[in-house]
Amino acid sequence: MLSIFKPAAHRPRVAADRVDPLYRRLRWQIFIGIFFGYAAYYLVRKNFALAMPYLVEQGFSRGDLGLALSGISIAYGFSKFIMGSVSDRSNPRIFLPAGLIMAAAVMLFMGFVPWATSSIAVMFVLLFLCGWFQGMGWPPCGRTMVHWWSQKERGGIVSIWNCAHNVGGGIPPLLFLLGMAWFNDWKAALYMPAFGAILIALIAFALMRDTPQSCGLPPIEEYKNDYPVDYDEKHEQEFTTKQIFMQYVLPNKLLWYIALANVFVYLLRYGILDWSPTYLKEVKHFTLDTSSWAYFFYEYAGIPGTLLCGWMSDKVFKGNRGATGVLFMALVTIATVIYWLNPAGNPGVDMACMIIIGFLIYGPVMLIGLHALELAPKKAAGTAAGFTGLFGYLGGSVAASAIVGYTVDYFGWDGGFMVMIAGGVLAVVLLFITMLNESKHKRELNQA
């Protein structure tokens, strides 16, 4: 473990009358840090796609550029898991900004050094590196949330935080337009978001903190008098890597169920999103303008949808994440069927389906992350969430590009939609199994 990342030491407890005001102030401050910190990761996650049309003009094929771009998803899937376990033993105040600055540095290099965009192999390697550093974003946010918000508050806080990626995902095209206006240079797509990310990394560093104990505060369970049924004082000690994997992650059956469900949730998330410009243009005869708006609405409809899902999961389903996921994924699957079967010439229905799918899909994406955080003790939370991310990206996201793409090539769009709809059904089945096991697990813990 690099010593600069090591967790901040615990400080002597502050006076009792200072605990509440300090907790309240720091929770706001830290939340702003992780919200904008993670949003900034999305500034340099997808911005390469904006440069792709200009690279096509330089002679690169779409397929080869797609291959280079896949370097990010492949690396990110592994990294979210592996760096998640490093993050569980690291100070998020250092870890998150460090990863963000390194991911942005890769984009600056690609933007300013002509050699960096001279071949597919070089671009793949650099994008792979960027994807690896991207994996240093989610886990420190997860670690922060489980240390600063108690179990009863987590549905709400995680769902609000989870909107960060929708907020960040919409900004790169605007920064690119600004860069084009200032410099008339397409490489602004690479360096403008990178400058934005570095600025936010510095702000995140100023705002974030490690554990409450490192600020002289009691653990959140004590402060909120909200103890998980299986809470143990040992949960306040940092774990070894072996303990995290062998004791808390790999033997956890529920975590395996949600990781498998995540494959199919991500298949729909990215299958619909990534193919919407092509599908809407080829089959529904949308113009570039209207399909871009459909893409934008899909992302931003995710914000109210995620908030509703978090609220319902806490208040209506009383914390049963699996049951909430079943409802949302069943509705997403139905909306996907309508999107597929709606004949060309009804753009309002297609647009409505994109908005409804965007509204519904990000709730389950958030719930799986939240559920993973809850299925492991605080000190193993990042690894648990990273484990589901590994399945989501290597299984779902890669399948969304490759399997859906090849199916469309060989069997047409009907084949592609059948794959995605089958994925939706499997997600519902797996979340249903999760729901049953979750209730059983809770009953067992209550009896113990």
Provide the minimum distance between the beta carbon of 389 and ligand G3P in the complex, in angstroms, as a whole number: 5
Buried residues in 204-230 as b, exposed as e (16+ CB within 10 A): bbebbbbbbbbbebebbbebeeeeeee
Provide the minimum distance between the beta carbon of 137 and ligand G3P in the complex, in angstroms, as a whole number: 7
Query: 436-441 long-range contacts, Cβ below 8 Å, gap at least 24?
Result: 436/322, 437/253, 437/254, 437/257, 437/322, 438/254, 438/320, 438/321, 438/322, 438/323, 439/320, 441/254
Separation between Cα atoms, residue 130 and residue 48, nearest integer Å: 11
Provide the minimum distance between the beta carbon of 80 and ligand G3P in the complex, in angstroms, as a whole number: 6
Provide the minimum distance between the beta carbon of 250 and ligand G3P in the complex, in angstroms, as a whole number: 20
From residue 343, alpha-carbon distances to 118, 297, 351 in Å are: 43, 21, 13
Provide the minimum distance between the beta carbon of 366 and ligand G3P in the complex, in angstroms, as a whole number: 5
Provide the minimum distance between the beta carbon of 343 and ligand G3P in the complex, in angstroms, as a whole number: 33
- Of 188 and 357, the one with the shorter C-beta distance to ligand G3P is 357
Provide the minimum distance between the beta carbon of 349 and ligand G3P in the complex, in angstroms, as a whole number: 28
Provide the minimum distance between the beta carbon of 365 and ligand G3P in the complex, in angstroms, as a whole number: 5
Amino acid present at 220: I
Provide the minimum distance between the beta carbon of 364 and ligand G3P in the complex, in angstroms, as a whole number: 10
Can you give the length of the chain in residues? 448
CA 81 to chain centre: 12
For residue 130, give every residue at least 6 positions away whose Cβ sits within 8 Å of its Cβ, in sequence order, or none: 44, 71, 72, 75, 103, 106, 107
- Of 7 and 386, the one with the shorter C-beta distance to ligand G3P is 386
- Of 111 and 389, the one with the shorter C-beta distance to ligand G3P is 389
Please give the residue ranges that form the binding site for ligand G3P (CB under 6 A): 80, 138, 162, 165, 365-366, 369, 389
Provide the minimum distance between the beta carbon of 304 and ligand G3P in the complex, in angstroms, as a whole number: 16
Please report, to the nearest 10 degrees, the dihedral formed by the alpha carbons of residues 59, 125, 85, 137 taken in order.
Answer: -40
- Of 23 and 138, the one with the shorter C-beta distance to ligand G3P is 138
Separation between Cα atoms, residue 130 and residue 273, nearest integer Å: 21
Separation between Cα atoms, residue 394 and residue 400, nearest integer Å: 10
- Are the CB atoms for 70 and 237 separated by under 8 Å? no
Task: Find the residue with minimal CB distance to ligand G3P.
Answer: 369
- Of 219 and 369, the one with the shorter C-beta distance to ligand G3P is 369
- Of 299 and 350, the one with the shorter C-beta distance to ligand G3P is 299
Buried residues in 84-113 as b, exposed as e (16+ CB within 10 A): bbbbbbbbbbbbbbbbbbbbbbbbbbbbee
Separation between Cα atoms, residue 197 and residue 94, nearest integer Å: 15
- Of 31 and 138, the one with the shorter C-beta distance to ligand G3P is 138
- Of 154 and 165, the one with the shorter C-beta distance to ligand G3P is 165
- Of 351 and 360, the one with the shorter C-beta distance to ligand G3P is 360
- Of 92 and 179, the one with the shorter C-beta distance to ligand G3P is 92
